[in-house]
Amino acid sequence: MSQYNLQTSIAYLKGVGPSRAELLKKELGIRTFGDLVNFFPNRYLDRTQFFKINQLQQNSAEIQVVGKITSIKTVSQKRGSRLVATFVDETGSMELVWFRGAKWIKDSLKVNVPYVIFGKTNYFNKAFSMPHPEMELLSDYKKSLTTAMQPIYPSTEMLTNKSVSNRVVQKMMQSLFEEVKGNFQETLSSEIISKQHLISKKEALFNIHFPKNQELLTKAQYRLKFEELFFIQLQLILKKMIRKSKIRGYSFEKIGDKFNTFYKNYLPFDLTNAQKRVLKEIRKDIGSNAQMNRLLQGDVGSGKTIVALLTMLIALDNGFQATIMAPTEILATQHYNSIKELLGEMNVNVQLLTGSVKTKARRLIHESLEDGSLHILIGTHALIEDKVKFKNLGIAIIDEQHRFGVEQRSKLWTKNELPPHILVMTATPIPRTLAMSVYGDLDISVIDELPPGRKQIATAHRYDSNRLSVFKFMKDEITKGRQVYVVYPLIQESEKMDYKDLMDGYESISREFPMPKYQISIVHGKMKAEDKEYEMNRFLKGETQIMVATTVIEVGVNIPNASVMVIESAERFGLSQLHQLRGRVGRGADQSYCILMTSHKLSADAKVRLETMVKTTDGFEVADVDLKLRGPGNIMGKQQSGVLNLKIADITKDSDILKLARELAFETLKKDPSLKTQENTNINRAYRGIHKKTGIWSNIS
Ligand code: ADP
Ligand code: MG
């Protein structure tokens, strides 16, 4: 056994020392031998592949060339000097350039001897050059070539500046493997390894850094990706198991009068199969003794409201109160109105609580909430104020999770002895793989089917130069009695410019659609909340035909008579935003349209976004493309980056491995919930190693 182990500080590794150790820590977060072993290459260069100088291309990745130096000169520049060597092969010539260490390098270079050079090229003044190439004499290269696949490690500018080149990292890795002599502990059970035909941890680590061939490299990558995803899933599933066993909840066993009466006499349509399935999932949760914590995903218009209402009626049948919290006053009001209407003559007391409810009415709500005569309370943030006390809240439904922090959410819990069940509804589809990785500890239900008879929203992409025909189209729709949205982007950094765009747009629309024949509403971020509400309401009531707005209308408003959504500068919107905006139309029986207006200048990504929108109205398909374009970190935001900060796996590409890892993590915990058996010794040790800092997994012995 070596004197070193994986906890040893990297400073003790041959060729590192204190200052490099500091640099590695700062730039790459590498502190120990273990960190370095788990620092994986992000790609591999086939070292049997050489470029000829006349094959070089601009913006290519690192390449290698065989050739000779024919001359070397020192060029003075403002500060110091640079060294320039002319490098040729039989097809052409290029320059090698050094900005630092010129003198020392000059002495070491040999002229007219074949070299292998390796690095990234620059293209300037119609000529290629390579700054600070890594160089090796061809004769040495041939001797030292142990592997055809050369690992390329992630690097930073600072590392390059401090001469910690790829080759230096490789050498460090080599020393490390010599020191620890393959002393890497297995982290998976022999059962998983043999059933899944995985290679051992030891073999995988060796081949990820020193691949003997492509086949072993592929196996090493697969094994390490699997392992990474497996331990994340293990954590998420354990968290869920702990929550379910520890956080007790009220059990709603009874399906009673209110539910049955509503279902028989008031339900205005048949539930879709997806709605029925989701309702079953919810009923199973709230009928158990654990608190429900469920995310309900369903595209705009998929019919989440009715599911929410039926769920609340079950709570009522069991003697509990229910609440829905919405992010805006308009949305809360809409929920209130549609639920009142759905309930018809039924004997259910429903109230609305928002910031604009007057003191007297508010006091009445507070009282009836406390004495239990109020059954369903619908509202905005106003309902998480301290003054609002339920007699016995059984379920809290939160509409649009993105608008509320977890903090606010959990505040709802404190009003009772046991926490209420929680159902979070969102219209933002989250791709399955992402949901598995991020919300793996929540239960998820998906309404993946729209009610029958819905017409597809026709989506078209038009250039600004076609604006007149778009105006004409708007007029035709308005003549038919329809209403139109025109939406402008609002992006924080350029708020002033956005505001100007909006106002210019408003002006040109006002010119094209003159009063009194046409009435136009305008809503934007600089307006006071009550002015916004006022304008929204005018549009809602049909007093105006056109709503010019920034993206404040994004979430949830339901105006069935609006049939056209025109999105200006559509290239500046993200895919999920475009999809959300499109969901504002197509809510009535009429054919609806979404028109994406752009200039002719479009980035490659913008083109994909627009094509996707035109091609599909399926929110999950849109979300998948979005995930591929933006990556998981950008979609979920910083708070989730812990789970998404993967070293080697990529949830957009490795979804099959992810599914397998999740299945096996489930299986493992089902058989051995506290990972105590002999078989799971490795898994237990590795798991505790990963999570020893958090200290919350004490149920694992
Ligand atoms: P969202 O999921 O966007 O909140 P809503 O609950 O507002 O969707 O439902 C959209 C519309 O579809 C509503 O007008 C609702 O009455 C109607 N709807 C919901 N479920 C069905 C169904 N199973 N059959 C027919 N119409 C339905
Ligand atoms: Mg809704």
| Model confidence pLDDT, tens digit, residues 147-197 | 678 898 988 888 877 888 888 999 999 999 988 887 899 999 999 999 999
Q: Model's pTM, two decimal places? A: 0.72
Give the distance from CA 344 to its chain's centroid.
41
Q: Ligand 1, atom 18: nearest CA belongs to which residue?
A: 303
Q: 334 CB less than 6 Å from ligand 1?
A: no
Task: Find the 300 Cα to ligand 1 centroid distance in Å.
Answer: 9
Position 643 scores a pLDDT of 55
> What's the rounded Cα separation, in Å, for the pair 631 and 615?
21
Q: 575 CB less than 6 Å from ligand 1?
A: no
Q: 379 CB less than 6 Å from ligand 1?
A: no
Residues in the chain: 701
**Closest approach atom of ligand 1 to CA 308:** 6
> What's the rounded Cα separation, in Å, for the pair 595 and 265?
41
Task: Find the 331 Cα to ligand 2 centroid distance in Å.
Answer: 8
Amino acid at 154: P
Q: 335 CB less than 6 Å from ligand 1?
A: no
> What's the rounded Cα separation, in Å, for the pair 160 and 488?
44
- Long-range contacts of 171-174, Cβ-Cβ distance < 8 Å, separation of 24 or more: 171/15, 172/13, 172/15, 172/16, 172/36, 173/36, 173/37, 173/209, 173/210, 174/210
Task: Find the 600 Cα to ligand 1 centroid distance in Å.
Answer: 38
What are the residues whose beta carbons fall under 8 Å from the beta carbon of 143, sequence distance 6 or more? none
Q: 271 CB less than 6 Å from ligand 1?
A: yes
Q: Classify residue 694 as exposed, middle or buried by CB count within 10 Å of its CB (0-12, 13-18, 19+).
A: exposed
Dmax (CA) of the chain:
97
Asked whether the beta carbons of 97 and 75 are under 8 A apart, the reply is no
Is the backbone peptide bond immediately before 489 cis, with ω within 30 degrees of 0?
A: no
**Closest approach atom of ligand 1 to CA 447:** 2
Which H helix or E strand runs over 273?
Answer: helix 273-286
Amino acid at 66: V
Q: Ligand 1, atom 13: nearest CA belongs to which residue?
A: 303
Q: pLDDT tens digits, residue range 5-27?
A: 788 899 999 889 899 999 999 99
| Probe residue for ligand 1, chosen from 267, 269, 561 as the CB with the greatest number of ligand atoms within 8 Å | 269
Could you tell me where the DSSP H helices lie in 524-574?
Answer: 529-540
Which residues sit opposite 462 in a β-bridge? Answer: 597
> What's the rounded Cα separation, in Å, for the pair 608 and 616?
12
Of the CA atoms within 13 Å of residue 300, those in its CB half-sphere come to 25
Q: 165 CB less than 6 Å from ligand 1?
A: no
Tokens standing for 311? 């769920």
Q: Which candidate, 400, 404, 397, places its Cα nearest to that of 421?
A: 397
Tokens standing for 666? 């489930």
Which H helix or E strand runs over 123?
Answer: strand 122-124
Tokens standing for 168? 């230096």
- Cα distances (Å, whole numbers) of residue 632 to 222, 281, 401, 612, 617: 20, 27, 18, 18, 21
User: Which one of the ligands is nearest to 302 CA?
Assistant: 1
Which H helix or E strand runs over 336?
Answer: helix 329-343
Position 180 scores a pLDDT of 85
Strand runs labelled E in 400-480: 421-426, 443-447, 458-463
Which residues sit opposite 480 in a β-bridge? Answer: none
Q: Which candidate, 583, 576, 663, places its Cα nearest to that of 628?
A: 576
> What's the rounded Cα separation, in Å, for the pair 505 and 501?
6
Asked whether the beta carbons of 603 and 574 are under 8 A apart, the reply is no
**Closest approach atom of ligand 1 to CA 298:** 2
Tokens standing for 394? 């059984």
Q: Which candidate, 255, 205, 253, 247, places its Cα nearest to that of 228?
A: 205
Asked whether the beta carbons of 325 and 396 are under 8 A apart, the reply is yes
Q: 566 CB less than 6 Å from ligand 1?
A: no
Asked whether the beta carbons of 408 and 395 are under 8 A apart, the reply is no
Task: Find the 403 Cα to ligand 1 centroid distance in Å.
Answer: 22
Is the backbone peptide bond immediately before 516 cis, with ω within 30 degrees of 0?
A: yes
Kindly tell me the sign of the dihedral angle through the C-alpha atoms of 399, 297, 570, 557: negative
Which H helix or E strand runs over 435?
Answer: helix 432-438
* Regions in the chain scoring below 50 on pLDDT: 1, 554, 638-641, 693-701
Task: Find the 599 Cα to ligand 2 centroid distance in Å.
Answer: 33
Q: 580 CB less than 6 Å from ligand 1?
A: no
Task: Find the 271 Cα to ligand 1 centroid distance in Å.
Answer: 9
> What's the rounded Cα separation, in Å, for the pair 314 and 666?
31
Q: 301 CB less than 6 Å from ligand 1?
A: yes
Q: 586 CB less than 6 Å from ligand 1?
A: no
Q: Ligand 1, atom 17: nearest CA belongs to which residue?
A: 303
**Closest approach atom of ligand 1 to CA 342:** 16
Q: Ligand 1, atom 27: nearest CA belongs to which residue?
A: 451
Which residues sit opposite 9 in a β-bridge? Answer: 32
Asked whether the beta carbons of 647 and 40 are under 8 A apart, the reply is yes
> What's the rounded Cα separation, in Å, for the pair 683 and 699?
15
Position 415 scores a pLDDT of 64
Q: Ligand 1, atom 26: nearest CA belongs to which residue?
A: 451
> What's the rounded Cα separation, in Å, for the pair 216 and 50?
23
> What's the rounded Cα separation, in Å, for the pair 39 and 219?
17
Q: 275 CB less than 6 Å from ligand 1?
A: yes
Asked whether the beta carbons of 499 and 578 are under 8 A apart, the reply is no
